[in-house]
Every structure is written in structure tokens, then in C-alpha cells.
């Protein structure tokens, strides 16, 4: 195939991210400098983000048989790059500078995050099972290293090994499912599979088994019940900025490709598979929320909460008509904003050289009297995760409920309402803890280094954005409507 200028413009976000990886790698080889590595990473990610604008002008365009750049891919590319930028900024504050910082090599963290982000960009624009697998592996493999990055902490190493073993099992299921689908459809491209399955009417048992096994592989990555067992341990063991990356950029990429796969092949969302998805959604919502009730560790609580949130997202995937794609887009954007804010507060409270992150709930007792601005951010994030009106999270939940009602999925809507009611309890518990008065407590705001100030400014911006989208969601709705899969 011939490459034209248009192809390069469409691929620009991925090419710029890949070029940034090489530049950062060479810079580390030339001279280890934490701030320099951080600035190069941020510059590259910002350029990649800006290059989405010209890419939109040439979309939709099938760049190669593996990749399709359309408005849908551009929206999720932008979301992944914004989440990665936020995680890189948090990582800089977390690793620190000078003698007080992280004891090991700091620069490789940026390299691994950039490589994982590149995998995410491949994943959201995949239109072929080979593209899906390459993107998924490029997204997952650097995360093994990221999770175990705080190697001097036993929990971090344990989390890295757990994630690697279970992720490998998920990939095996995915490959087996792809093989069965190929045997049935004779094609690896999403369109080819969709047409082959549509031609036979109801999908054959082999095709359903193939799709089911692929669903298991993707459910592992999204930590849906019953494939969620790694989530709380990995969230707790991973350094805080890595947990933020895992909860946002990594899951957004996997969910986006799942939406593409299910939307292109209507056969996938009918029959047995639809019932299986319904059961997984209800189980994820109820188990995620009930297990979060008992947690006294903030990272584990957010881990269980993310299981429930992806259960809510499955409701729109099961409905898969009308508002579904729009609802998924709105919910993922609001979820990314709130998760980044919540993990951002944990990051700025933690320092890796003290052995473990500040993730126990008792460490946040009376935080309002010590760090008022961090308390304000975490309060807004908890309200948004609970789906309280006037926050971004409410808009996301409202759209998911509208989708469920539109397609008459009453069991799913009922479980969402029940799950949200349970969720309000444990989110409010975190909020109350922040404002408790401690005896002999003097109010003061701790002095911050400049790299922490950058993280703090970003967190305040995230909190303002969560409020703004709750009050005036129209810009977000317009953005998501323009990026439908029809693209």
C-alpha cells in the first residue's frame, strides 16, 4: 500500500508518541536528569495531543488494514493522552528531586508510561484482531514493570508478579478466542468478522465461544467480576501515579476497543453473549460496591469502586443501541477526570522513600485542618464518583440510566440504582474522615516543592473541571456526539 501525507497526518498522534519514546530513551542514555526526562515526556505528549486536530480533518481513514483513524479513535486517543499527561505530572511530584526523592532510577518510569500510552493509541484505532493484540500487549507489558517499580516495597513486587501472571492468562484466553473466530469467519478484520457472522444469522456455537473467550480476556484487563481478583492488591501495591494510569488510560483503551468490536458485529450483542454480559454487569456492580464497604485502605476502596464503575459501563454496552456509544463516551470522560483527581490526592500525600504510600484511611483523618486544598479536591472527587448532582459523575450516571431505560434493561437499571445507593455510603465515609477534628490540631498547609505545586495546580484544575461539567455538560456532550462510531 502507498503512504500519502494524509496517512501520516492521521497517524501523527501515534508517530509523535513513538518518537517521544525514542528521544526520552536517548536522553536517558546520554545523561540521567529527572527534570529533563519529565519535560521531554510532557512536551511529546502535548504535541501528540495537538496533532489530533489535523488528524480529525482527514478522518475517517483506514491507514493500514490494522488501523482505522476516525472520530471515535480520535476522542479516545485524546482521553488516553490527557490521562497519561496527568499521570506523568503526578509521577514527577511523587518521585521527587534531590536527596529526598525516590532511591532508585527515576527516569525509566516515564519511558514505561509512554510505551504503555502508545499501546493504548494502537488499541483504540484497531480495526483488526492483530492490531488489537499488538496494542493490548504494548499497553500491558510496560505496566508489569510500572506496578513493581517501587521494588524496595514487598507489596509492589507482589502486585507486579500477580498482575503479570493473571494478565498472561487473560492474553491466552484472548488469543484462543481470536483463533476460534478466525476459524469460523475466515477473516481477522472486525468488518470481515461482522459480515461473516451476520451472513449466517445467529452466530454458530464456535463463533459464540470465540467471542466469549475474547470477552474473558478483555474482562481480565477491565477487572470485571469474576475476573477482578487482582485489582485491589495491584492498586494497593502499585505506586500511586501508576495506579492512576492503570485505572484511567489503560482501562479506557481496552473498553474503547471492546465497544468497537461489539458495535461492528451486531451478532456479538445478541443471544447467549448478551445474557452473559448482563450477569457480569450486575455481579460487578454489586460485588464492587459491597466489597468497597469494608475497606479501610483508600487505594483498595478505589480499586473496588472501579470494578463497579465498569459494571455500570457494561449496561450501555449491553443496550448497544440509541444513546449507547454516546453514554459510554460521556461516562468514560467523567470517570477519568474523577479517578485522576482521587489518585492525584493520594500521590501528593505520599512519598516513595517512606516505604509505602499514604493510602490508609486513618492518614486522611482531619486532613482539612492540614492540607485544605487537597481536601477540597478529594471531596469533589468523592461526590462525583458517588454521582451527586452538580458534579461530572452525575452526568455520566444519568446517561447510563437513560440508555438502560431506553432499551428496557430493567434488571440492569435496578442494579445500578442499588449499587449507587451502596456507593454513596462509603464515599461519604471518606469525606467525613477528612473533616474530623483531631485533639491539639493546629491548622497549617504543608510546604510544597515546586514539582508538587505543579501536581497541586493540576488537581485544582481537575476539581474545577468536574464541577464545570456537572453544571454545564454541553461542550462534552457535543464532543462525544461528533465522535460516534459512524465517524
Residue 264: what pLDDT? 66
Give the pLDDT mean for 247-274. 80
pLDDT digits (tens, 9 = 90+) for 447-468: 555 556 778 888 899 999 998 9
Mean pLDDT of the residues in the chain: 87
Distance CA 55, CA 7 (A): 9
At residue 484 the predicted structure's pLDDT band, cuts being 50, 70 and 90, is low
pLDDT, average across residues 10-21? 93
What pLDDT does 322 receive? 64
- Percent of the chain scoring above 90 in pLDDT: 48
Q: What is the pLDDT of residue 381?
A: 93
**Does 267 score more than 80 pLDDT?**
no
Query: Which of residues 324 and 228 earns the better pLDDT score?
Result: 228
Q: Which has more confidence, 416 or 355?
A: 416
pLDDT mean over 130-157: 90
Query: What CA–CA distance (Å, rounded) separates 233 from 214?
Result: 24
Burial of 306 (0-12, 13-18, 19+ CB in 10 A): buried
Q: What is d(CA 130, CA 133) in angstroms, rounded to the nearest whole number? A: 5
Give pLDDT tens digits for 139-148.
999 999 999 9
Across 188-198, average pLDDT: 84
Question: Is residue 212 exposed (0-12), middle (13-18) or buried (19+ Cβ within 10 Å)?
Answer: middle
- Give pLDDT, residue 65: 86
Of the candidates 363, 354, 279, 264, the one whose C-alpha atom is nearest the C-alpha of residue 314 is 279
243 pLDDT above the threshold of 60: yes
Residue 261 · residue 317 · CB < 8 Å? no
Q: In degrees rounded to 5, what are phi and psi of residue 107?
A: -70, -30
Least confident piece of the model among 113-122, 135-144, 446-455: 446-455
pLDDT score of 101: 61
Residues 45-76: pLDDT tens digits? 999 999 999 988 887 888 888 898 888 899 99
| Cα separation, 24 vs 127, whole angstroms | 29
Q: What is the pLDDT of residue 98?
A: 53
pLDDT for residue 487 is more than 50: no
- Which of 279-283, 329-333, 482-486 is predicted least confidently? 482-486
Q: Which cell goes with 166?
A: 493473571
Distance CA 376, CA 41 (A): 29
Confidence of residue 94 (pLDDT cuts 50, 70, 90): confident
273 Cβ partners below 8 Å, 6+ apart? 208, 211, 212, 215
- Out of 92-96, 242-246, 293-297, pick the least confident: 92-96
Mean pLDDT of 292-301: 91
Query: What secondary structure, in 3-state letters, does 304-367 show?
Result: HHHHHHHHHHHHHHHHCCCCHHHHHHHHHHHHHHHHHHHHHHHHHHCCHHHCCCCCEHHHHCCH
For residue 280, is pLDDT > 90?
yes
pLDDT at 438: 67
Q: CB neighbours of 199 closer than 8 A, spacing ≥ 6?
A: none
What is the structure's pLDDT at 443? 53
- In sequence order, the β-bridge partners of residue 189 are 128
> Does residue 486 carry a pLDDT above 50?
no
pLDDT higher for 99 or 392? 392
Reported confidence tier of residue 106, pLDDT bands at 50, 70, 90: confident
Handedness of CA 429, 431, 434, 439 (dihedral sign): negative
Question: Which residues share a beta bridge with 455?
Answer: none
Amino acid at each position: 500500500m502507498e503512504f500519502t501525507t494524509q496517512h501520516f497526518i492521521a497517524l501523527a498522534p501515534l508517530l509523535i508518541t513513538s518518537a517521544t519514546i525514542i528521544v526520552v530513551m536517548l536522553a536517558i542514555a546520554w545523561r540521567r536528569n529527572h527534570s529533563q526526562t519529565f519535560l521531554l515526556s510532557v512536551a511529546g505528549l502535548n504535541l501528540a495531543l495537538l496533532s489530533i486536530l489535523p488528524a480529525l480533518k482527514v478522518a475517517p481513514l483506514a491507514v493500514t488494514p490494522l488501523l482505522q483513524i476516525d472520530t471515535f479513535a480520535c476522542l479516545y486517543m485524546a482521553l488516553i493522552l490527557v490521562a497519561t499527561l496527568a499521570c506523568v505530572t503526578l509521577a514527577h511530584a511523587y518521585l521527587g528531586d534531590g536527596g529526598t526523592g525516590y532511591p532508585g532510577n527515576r527516569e525509566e518510569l516515564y519511558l514505561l508510561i509512554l510505551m504503555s500510552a502508545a499501546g493504548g493509541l494502537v488499541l483504540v484505532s484497531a480495526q483488526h484482531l492483530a492490531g488489537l493484540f499488538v496494542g493490548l500487549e504494548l499497553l500491558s507489558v510496560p505496566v508489569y514493570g510500572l506496578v513493581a517499580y517501587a521494588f524496595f516495597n514487598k507489596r509492589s513486587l507482589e502486585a507486579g508478579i500477580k498482575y503479570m501472571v493473571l494478565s498472561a492468562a487473560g492474553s491466552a484466553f484472548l488469543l484462543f478466542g481470536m483463533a476460534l473466530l478466525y476459524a469460523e469467519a475466515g477473516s481477522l478484520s472486525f468488518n470481515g468478522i461482522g459480515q461473516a457472522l451476520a451472513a449466517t444469522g445467529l452466530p454458530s456455537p464456535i463463533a459464540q465461544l470465540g467471542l466469549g473467550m475474547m470477552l474473558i480476556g478483555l474482562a481480565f484487563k477491565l477487572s470485571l467480576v469474576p475476573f477482578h481478583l487482582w485489582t485491589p492488591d495491584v492498586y494497593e501495591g502499585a505506586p500511586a501515579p501508576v495506579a492512576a494510569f492503570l485505572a484511567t488510560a489503560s482501562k479506557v483503551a481496552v473498553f474503547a476497543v471492546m465497544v468497537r468490536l461489539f458495535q461492528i458485529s451486531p451478532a456479538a450483542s445478541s443471544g447467549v453473549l448478551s445474557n452473559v454480559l448482563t450477569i457480569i454487569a450486575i455481579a460487578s456492580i454489586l460485588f464492587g460496591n459491597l466489597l468497597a464497604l469494608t475497606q479501610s485502605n483508600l487505594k483498595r476502596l478505589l480499586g473496588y469502586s472501579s470494578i463497579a464503575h465498569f459494571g455500570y459501563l457494561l449496561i450501555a454496552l449491553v443496550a448497544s443501541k440509541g444513546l449507547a456509544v454516546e453514554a459510554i463516551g460521556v461516562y468514560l470522560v467523567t470517570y477519568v477526570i474523577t479517578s485522576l483527581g482521587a489518585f492525584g490526592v493520594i500521590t501528593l500525600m505520599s512519598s516513595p522513600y517512606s516505604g509505602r504510600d499514604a493510602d490508609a484511611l486513618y492518614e486522611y483523618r482531619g486532613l482539612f485542618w492540614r492540607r485544605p486544598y487537597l481536601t477540597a479536591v478529594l471531596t469533589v472527587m468523592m461526590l462525583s464518583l458517588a454521582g451527586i448532582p452538580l458534579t461530572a459523575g452525575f452526568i455520566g450516571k444519568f446517561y447510563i440510566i437513560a440508555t438502560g431505560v431506553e432499551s428496557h434493561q430493567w434488571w440492569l437499571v435496578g442494579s445500578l440504582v442499588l449499587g449507587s445507593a451502596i456507593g454513596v455510603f462509603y464515599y461519604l465515609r471518606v469525606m467525613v474522615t477528612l473533616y474530623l477534628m483531631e485533639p491539639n490540631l493546629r491548622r497549617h498547609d504543608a510546604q510544597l516543592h515546586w514539582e508538587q505545586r505543579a501536581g497541586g495546580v493540576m488537581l485544582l484544575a481537575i476539581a474545577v473541571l468536574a464541577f464545570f461539567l456537572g453544571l454545564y455538560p454541553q461542550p462534552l456532550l457535543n464532543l462525544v456526539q461528533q465522535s460516534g462510531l459512524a465517524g
